[in-house]
Structure 1
Amino acid sequence: MVTGANKGIGFAMVKRLAEAGLNVILTARDVERGKKAVESLRTQGLEVQFFCLDVSDPSSIQIFVSWFQNNFEALDILVNNAAVSFNDIYENSVEQAETVMKTNFYGVKLLTEALLPMFRRSPSMCRILNISSRLGSLNKVRNPNIREILEKDDLTEEQIGDVVTLFLQSVKNGTWKTQGWPKVWTDYAISKLALNAYSRVLAKRFQGSNISVNCFCPGFTQTSMTSGKGTHSADEAAQIGVRLMLLPPQELPTAKFYIGFGPFVKSKL
């Protein structure tokens, strides 16, 4: 299943996964746009299922998970692609910071945790790929205390949540510009910073099991989030993401952060 998939990278990934013969669920928060996306794929001979899902809404997640349980035996691949940003490329407002966190971090975490019991229990590796951003890299954080927390080998989900809460508090009291947070698309960057950290914790939790957890930064891609600007198309980014997801089990890593195209810049989460 792919979240936020009625357009952009998510839609392109659904298309490529369907072309590879997988049974794919396309999710989107807007029913009409989601159905339109599915119909456009069906005209190309690709049979894809649709379900409305708003990852920022816990009740929507609960409804989706219940539907999934009633209709499918197991889940093999989860692509957390849904994300929002309310800034133009050269803007940096944090007015919608809570919504950004609720969608890009908390929503992803809540959905993933709800779906974990449904991953297939078999020797074949199950995969979680979180679409992230290099804006959320630790080297973008200028506050040494925050970096020290997030670099801990024994980092916990609670500590990640504390960092997000600290950021939201600094937004409310107007001190976010002086607290050493990332300078570019600050709220979006923090949401991806938290997502990367959560991915590392999750990968460690399932180390040695049949669940692989990785992040992928597609780079400066031509999507609605970038107002159509970028160095490559959504389809080109999706091609790389799908290639990573469909690696043979013996070649599939975990707890890795992939950046851009080939040769990959690959680092530990």
Structure 2
Amino acid sequence: MTNKTALITGANKSIGYETARQLGKLGYRVLLGARDLERGRSAAQALVAEGLDIRPLSIDVTDEASIRDAAAWVSDHDGKLDILINNAGIPGRQPVAPSEQGVDDIRAIYETNVFGPIRVTQAFLPLLKAAERANIVMVSSGLGSLGWLSDPANMFFGVNILGYNSSKTALNAVTVAFAKELADTAIKVNAADPGYTATDFNGHTGYRTVEQAAAGIVWLATLDASGPNGAFYFEQTQVPW
């Protein structure tokens, strides 16, 4: 065991769940964050049955009180946090043309995909600073890369989804902002593109497995002091902003 603790938001299924499993197998104590605590408990129990140190944690990234309560619980039980993975996200209404997507739908996407990671990172920053060193991973998407979206030769060029894509572009900017602020600390902040993965998120149309998707996130989450800061990666290859 590493005696290190990781928190993953939105981890009761899919990529977040597999990320919890992989970190658990590396010896981390994993706080499996879930908006629905009963689903979180069920997911955690399944991983505990595999011999992993997994604990459910109630956290709704759109709810300030829920986040404060979660941070207080971690403070009381662990006193620090070594890894924060902002994984919770929603796709919004799609497919729909940018000219037809309502602002209310876009606002709801931003509440989870952008403001959620900001809220959670700000709330847990004191605990991350209390660790000897820590890593923050923002789970972004290749659809957030302006470089890829504007390149006609790229596979994502034709995926023109206003709300979701722009929320991930905004999350990338959030990554850079926190990385710059924390550059002189022992905390690294990076963004991960899990790739087009078969999950409920896309009706299981993705070509990648959750195991493949989680591996790149885990790599960033377990970086040592020599690793990158303020960068965007697909697996271990840097992605253009």
**TM-score, length-scaled by structure 1:** 0.77
Residue identity matched to 2:181: R
Deviation at 1:185, TM superposition (A): 2.1
Moved over 6 A (4+): none
Secondary structure class of the residue paired with 2:8: coil
Give the Cα separation in 2 of the matches to 1:239 and 1:68: 25
Deviation at 1:109, TM superposition (A): 0.1
Q: Can you list the C-alpha shifts for 1:146-188, whole angstroms capped at 9, x where unaligned?
A: xxxxxxxxxxxxxxxxxxxxxxxxxxxxxxxxxxxx9622111
1:230 matches 2:236: no
Shift in alpha-carbon separation, 1:39–1:184, aligned structure 2, 3 A: same
Give the Cα separation in 2 of the matches to 1:202 and 1:121: 17
Give the Cα separation in 1 of the matches to 2:116 and 2:135: 18
2:146 to 119, 138, 144: 138
Give the Cα separation in 2 of the matches to 1:30 and 1:183: 31
8 Å CA contact retained: 1:222, 1:228:
yes
- 2:61 matched residue in structure 1: 55
1:253 matches 2:228: yes
Deviation at 1:121, TM superposition (A): 4.3
Give the Cα separation in 1 of the matches to 2:201 and 2:211: 15
Q: What does 1:23-34 correspond to in 2, within 5 Å?
A: 23-34=29-40
Give the Cα separation in 2 of the matches to 1:77 and 1:240: 14
Deviation at 1:114, TM superposition (A): 1.0
Secondary structure class of the residue paired with 1:62: helix
Deviation at 1:120, TM superposition (A): 4.1
RMSD, aligned α-carbons: 2.0
Deviation at 1:110, TM superposition (A): 0.9
Give the Cα separation in 2 of the matches to 1:236 and 1:183: 22
Residue identity matched to 1:258: Y
Unpaired segments of 5 or more residues in structure 2? 1-6, 151-157
1:36 matches 2:46: no
Give the Cα separation in 2 of the matches to 1:268 and 1:60: 34
Shift in alpha-carbon separation, 1:249–1:100, aligned structure 2, 3 A: same
The percentage of counterpart residues that share the same residue type is 33
Give the Cα separation in 2 of the matches to 1:82 and 1:242: 15
Q: What does 1:72-87 correspond to in 2, within 5 Å?
A: 72-87=78-93
Provide the aligned length of Structure 1 versus Structure 2.
224
**TM-score, length-scaled by structure 2:** 0.86
Give the Cα separation in 2 of the matches to 1:268 and 1:223: 25
1:266 matches 2:241: no
Unpaired segments of 5 or more residues in structure 1? 143-181
Rg larger in structure:
1
Residue identity matched to 2:237: V
Secondary structure class of the residue paired with 2:179: helix
Deviation at 1:229, TM superposition (A): 1.1
8 Å CA contact retained: 2:109, 2:167:
yes
Residue identity matched to 1:185: I
Q: Can you list the C-alpha shifts for 1:9-52, whole angstroms capped at 9, x where unaligned?
A: 10000001011101110011012211110111122111211111
1:18 matches 2:24: yes
Q: Can you list the C-alpha shifts for 1:107-155, whole angstroms capped at 9, x where unaligned?
A: 1101101111111446x5310000001212234788xxxxxxxxxxxxx
Residue identity matched to 1:94: Q
- 1:202 matched residue in structure 2: 178
